[in-house]
Amino acid sequence: MKKFVLAVMAVAAIGFTASCGNKTQQGARIDTVAVIDSIASGAAQEDIDAISGILASKDAAKLQEALAAVKEKIASFIKENPEVAKEYVTKVQEFLKENEEQVKAVVGDNAAVAAAVSAVTEIEPEAIVSGLLEQVGDAATEVKDAAVDAANQKVEEAKDAANQKVEEAKAAADKKVEDTKNAAKQKTNEAIDNAAASAKKKLGL
C-alpha cells in the first residue's frame, strides 16, 4: 500500500512538473513516457505478484479482494494521470490473459469473483485516455449484474428441482403407506372370511 501511495504521488508530480514547464518554459524536459512506464510497471508488478500467489493458493475470496484493489488503483491513477492508468491496466490485463486457465480454475462457479475478473478485463485501456471509462464501467457493471442474475437463476432452478424431488418422494411414500394399508385390510378381510367359512363348515352349514 505504501508503494502505491508513493506511485500516486509520483504521478501527481509528473503532472505538476509538466504544467510548470509549460508555463515557465524552465527546467530540463522530463522523459514522461519512461516515467509513466516505470510507475505503471512497478504498481502492476506489485499486484501481479500478489495475484500470482493467490492463484497458486486457489483462494477465490482473496482473488476478489485483490481485483477490487486493482480497480481502486485504476480509479486513483485516472484522477492523477490517465496515461499511467492506461499502462497499468494493460499490464494487469496481459497477466490475467496469460494465466486465463488458472484464473478460471480459481473462479469456478463463483459469480461474484467472475464479475470481479470481468470488471478488470473488460476495461478498454484506450478508453481511459479518451475519457470513455465511465461507459466501460457501465459495461462492466452490466456484466457483473448479468453474472449475478444467472447465478441466482441457477440457485432458483436448483431449489425448484429439489422441491420437486421432495414432493415426488412424499407422494411415493404416501402411496406406499396406502398400498400397505390396503394390503393389510385385504388380509384382514380374507382372514375373517376364512374364519367364518371354517365355522360354518364345523357347524355343517
What are 131-182's pLDDT values in tens digits? Answer: 655 544 555 555 556 655 666 676 677 777 777 888 888 888 888 878 888 8
| Exposure on the CB side of residue 148, measured as CA atoms within 13 A | 9
Q: Are 108 and 60 in contact (CB under 8 A)?
A: yes
Read off the DSSP letter of residue 30. P
In angstroms, how far is the first alpha carbon of the chain from the final one? Answer: 106
**Cα gap 151→108, rounded to integer Å:** 12
Nearest to 23 by CA among 31, 33, 15: 15
pLDDT along the chain (205 residues), means of 10: 45 46 45 78 90 94 93 87 89 94 94 91 82 52 58 71 81 83 79 69 64
Domain ranges in the chain?
2-152
pLDDT at 47: 92
pTM of the model: 0.52
